[in-house]
Amino acid sequence: MFSRGKLVLVLVIALTLVGFVFLRGPTPHITIKPETIFDAGGIGFTNTMITSWVVVGSMIIGLFLVTRKWDLVPSGAQNVVEAVVEALYGIIANVAGEKNGRRFFPVAATIFFFVLVSNLTSLLPIFNVIGVVTEEEHGFVMENASIGGLDIAYVELSGPGGLSGDAIDEDDADAHEQFAEAEEGGKIVGELAPLFRGPNTDINTPLALAIVSMIAVEFWGISTLGLFRYGKKFLNFSSPINFFVGMLEFISEIVRLLSFTARLFGNMFAGEVVILMFTFMTPLVLTVVFYGLEIFVGIIQAFIFCMLTVVFGVMAVTAHDEHDDHESEAQPHGEAKKLEA
């Protein structure tokens, strides 16, 4: 008799073998640059742009549906939304204080929810597998079919006779002959430009978010300390040492921008590559494990981006808060001197 543990192990091995033999496609084409889906007015619209619009639109529609019947005693979806927003606000207020927490929350929460929804949405099975085909002499060898009058192209999955879907590598010596043979068989050869791709796998999106975060931090600092007082952090000519420290502060602002961008982009792009490779190499089993890992990474990256924005905001206004504390401590002392006089 098999124990439960052995039975699970046998099932896992069986699913792995079935996926490896029957469900593999060709090695996916991975590119850092987002694919252009269509052009309008000389502007190329990429799949990451389209996905960003879908994410923002979905968030707006979802928020409208949840809040259109707002009850004093929350329940259902409203209860979940309120709990998440309240928990996030509590964390931000705990870091920045009640006053600054209210100032920082709109920007920090917007960044958090956009990054979170973008990361989690990117794990849907329609991402990176459905799109438009750019016909070339190399790439996937796809079957041509028609469903309800709609022409589609699809890649055949693997089987015992071939452990991967067909593809033509442009570096193959007989690539031209393979292309001619595929054309004679009525097949389509080309690369797939996915209609949907994770926004944060395009370096432009993390960079845009980092710029927004940086502008918000600088605005909080200037509005709190004043332009000239805040500017002295970067340009202080009172001494050579202070001038050097100011230059280091300016460099740190630029490095912070690059760090924000590289951290989010690197993690999400690497996750996309891992998911794609394991989906096509060992479907059904290991892919599920990495999906779980990517859910965790997506949540953590959204939280880190949000909280770093808050922390840098606190650093930008700390001098003002300390000045206020110093004045509040000095005031009673001054009043005591007047009374003594």
pLDDT band at 46 (very low <50, low <70, confident <90, very high): very high
Residue linked to tokens 């939304």: 81
CA dist 195 and 192 (Å) reads: 9
Q: What pLDDT is recorded for position 153?
A: 80
User: Model-level pTM?
Assistant: 0.84
Contacts of 331 (CB under 8 A, 6+ apart): none
Which pLDDT score, from 0 to 100, does residue 328 have?
Answer: 43
* Three-state secondary structure string covering the chain: CCCHHHHHHHHHHHHHHHHHHHCCCCCCCCCCCCCEEEEECCEEEEHHHHHHHHHHHHHHHHHHHHHCCCCCCCCHHHHHHHHHHHHHHHHHHHHHCHHHHHHHHHHHHHHHHHHHHHHHHCCCCCCCCCEEEEEEEEEEEEEEEEECCEEEEECCCCECCECCCCEECCCCCCHHHHHHHHHHCCCEEEEEEECCCCHHHCCHHHHHHHHHHHHHHHHHHHHHHCHHHHHCCCCCCCCHHHHHHHHHHHHHHHHHHHHHHHHHHHHHHHHHHHHHHHHHHCCCCHHHHHHHHHHHHHHHHHHHHHHHHHHHHHHHHHHHHHHHHHHHHHHHHHHHHHHHC
pLDDT of residue 234: 86
Q: Decide if 265 contacts 1 (C-beta within 8 A).
A: no
Q: Given this model, what pLDDT does residue 163 score?
A: 53
CA 206/CA 201 separation, integer angstroms: 8
Q: Which of 139-153, 157-171, 194-208 shows the lowest per-residue confidence on average (mean pLDDT)?
A: 157-171
Q: What local confidence, expressed as pLDDT, does residue 2 receive?
A: 60
pLDDT in tens, 60-116: 998 888 888 777 677 777 888 889 999 999 999 999 999 999 999 999 999 999 999
Is residue 161 very low, low, confident or very high in pLDDT (cuts 50, 70, 90)? low
The pLDDT of residue 187 is: 85
Residue 289: pLDDT above 60? Answer: yes
Tell me how far apart the alpha carbons of residues 49 and 126 are, in angstroms, rounded to a whole number: 16
Rg (the chain; Cα; Å): 28
The pLDDT value given to residue 331:
45
Q: What is the largest CA-CA distance in the chain?
A: 106
Is residue 51 a contact partner of residue 198, using CB atoms and an 8 Å limit? yes
Kindly tell me if the per-residue pLDDT of 264 is higher than 50.
Answer: yes
71-104 core/surface letters (b: 16 or more CB in 10 A; e: else): eeeeeeebeeeeeeeeebbebbbebbeeebbebb
* Greatest mean pLDDT among 3-7, 176-180, 233-237, 307-311: 307-311
pLDDT at 324 exceeding the cut of 80: no
Instruction: Measure the CA–CA gap between 170 and 184, rounded to whole angstroms.
Output: 19
pLDDT of residue 332: 42
Percent of the chain exceeding pLDDT 90 equals 40
pLDDT for 22 beyond 70 = yes
Q: How confident is the model at residue 100, as a pLDDT?
A: 94
The pLDDT score that the predictor gives to residue 308 is 95
Of 86-100, 190-204, 324-338, the least confident: 324-338
Contacts of 119 by beta carbon, 8 Å cutoff, 6+ apart: 198, 200, 268, 294, 297, 298, 299, 301, 302
